[in-house]
Structure 1
Amino acid sequence: MTLENDGPSTQQLQEELSGQKGNPPRIVSLLPSITEVLSSLGVADHIVGITHECDYPPEALEGATVVTISDISPYRMTQAEIHKQVTGSLVQGHSLYGLDAAKLKVFQPDIIFTQSLCDVCAVSYPVVTSTCAKIFGNGPHIVSLEPNNLKDVLETFLVAGRALKCEDVSKRVVDELQSQFDFIRITVNEHLCGRKRPLVAFLEWHRPFFTGGHWIADLMEIAGCDYRMCQSGDRSQAMSDEEFQAMDPDFILIGPCGFTVERAFEDTIQIMSPDRTDDNSKHGERSWWKTARAVKNGNVFALDGNSYFARPGPRLLQGCGLIARCVHGAEVAKKLGEELAPSSGMKQVTLNMYKE
């Protein structure tokens, strides 16, 4: 559902934020999810700096300049290669991302929104603070948003609202989001009508397997699923093939962090193929995959992890709707509609599609 902002006009909001006409705050957003949160509050026009991964919404990208750099090239690397480079950098204490200090100096931002939750996802908090200290001394104001679960995610809207002095707008946005999450919960419960919840697995990576962590458990609970891979707020964890086989879920949802549904689908249909990143051996071959119950029944879905699951922002609502759509089928999908459960965010993977 598209959130309707019935709050102050852009001009009124600018005046409220700046305290005087014609001088709105200059904002830098160092995480795609933060860019989406800020845009939902009506301040997209004030964003002057974004990350190389920010791709939504369009109004936040217009007039904004990329101020981050990265050594990771996900579109040219396999999941195994990305995992190897990420873990290697973290072990050595290297940051995966950096800031373009020259651009920051030119923009002279009033406020920078960042995070310290995950060094794999964005510029690390120490890099942000140290870079700003070198350039600006005591400024600009730095706000770090740290959501671990869905409750925390909704709180980030309020934190941003307080920082930008638009608390009323942020409260309306959060109330609308909560209302729509409640609608998904009610719709699914009516569909289940007391029946047992299906056992569902969520993978945010599969070379190696990684569980869906943080807010994924909350989305699963609202969407009427039995999710045992982690608890609300737990970090994503690696798991062995043997552990995954033993779970034998009814449904398998695959939404690799940072990947579109097209990339998720292409990787999923090759999930049985050997990992040949290190040598020509058959390391990582998963011939057992076709024997899994969910796979045999066609209950595997590739998802747009980049848009709807990896980013702790407003589109987690659609992620929750997508889970309900995949697991509970056409009846629930029809009641939720395309705005809450967009069909473009998922693709079913049937037994005949896999490559060996």
Structure 2
Amino acid sequence: MVQRYTQLCPVAFGAGAVSTTGDVGKELGFKKVLVVTDVNVEMIGHSQKVIDSLTEAGIATVLFNRCEMDAPDYIVQAGADLVKSQGIDGIVGIGGGSVLDTAKGISALAANNVTISEMLDFSRKMIPLENPSMKLVLIPTTSGTGSESTIIAVINDTKNHEKIGAMTPPSFAIVDPELTLDMPKEITVYTGMDAFSHACEALTSIQPNPHSDILCYDTIERITKWLPIAVKEPNNLEARENLALASNSAGIAFNDAMVHLGHATAHSMGANFHIPHGIACALVTPVILELTAPVYPVKVKKIGECMGLTVNVSDPKEIGQLVANNVRQFMLQLNVPTLKDLKISREQIIGCTNYVANEGLRFLCPVSATNELITELLGQIYDRYQ
């Protein structure tokens, strides 16, 4: 089988990389930029670093700090309206996954003469927009989403209570580990487990490739080693560098190989219960590894070995159980909450079946995800991690 692998955009990686934003803006021909962020990132001062670098490069800026969790459609619309009214020619997003997805959504919507509802409907039907997205630079302040190197922006359709994936490629990514120093423990854990889930699903989708596989195994090793250290030592720059690299690598990997049923399930949990995406991804990952082990026993075994687990069994089902339980122990070590902790009942989580069944990502799972199987898996998420 011939497989293709790509990298969407250049990446500037390293401590202090945010100071090169102005240089990148000049490379891209920016004259006036919308800086997309949220109030928390603004209060910390990270967005000001971007503004200062752009200003020094002679590029005018307009600040848009209204981003909210889960990138709601009405915020994307507000940002696009501002772009059009202010004569903006470039966008820089700095923040966590929701900020980056919002910036992506703005870049696509502002370049086209449609409303956000129409854009999401086109995405739902997989109809491309008439015009390409605006030039876009993305700067993550967490280590999990990998959105700075993926083509997908996940936008929350608040009218239909759905998360919709819109195709919006970035032009350039700036990954500066110093921006993640002092990140709260809980956010460090949830974003780290988000990247971990990206690697696990990219390895077990129906379209993996050797480039993605290499990046995924490296991601799992780095997160297993460095995530607990970053939780205990928030200012450990070496830990932050490794997690930032792992997150970016996982994003590059799943941009080709794609995630699948785990993320379809996580999206349903986010849409229905509004829990952080990284928590949902963590909760579903062990179940997905058990499900896919019979299809990819060698890969799932290697996932366990990358975590330091000795796997002395050859039966695929046993491999899946051992590795899944190892992941659950890792989650317990990091205090990832259970569904019970989140006040979500077994009946409520099973109630997500129809949402998952209608999510396109489920078709990228190597095991046919019938409604009956989805219901069973949702119950296992509740039963097997308590």
Give the number of the structure whose alpha-carbon radius of gyration is greater. 1
Taking structure 2 as the reference length, the TM-score comes to 0.28
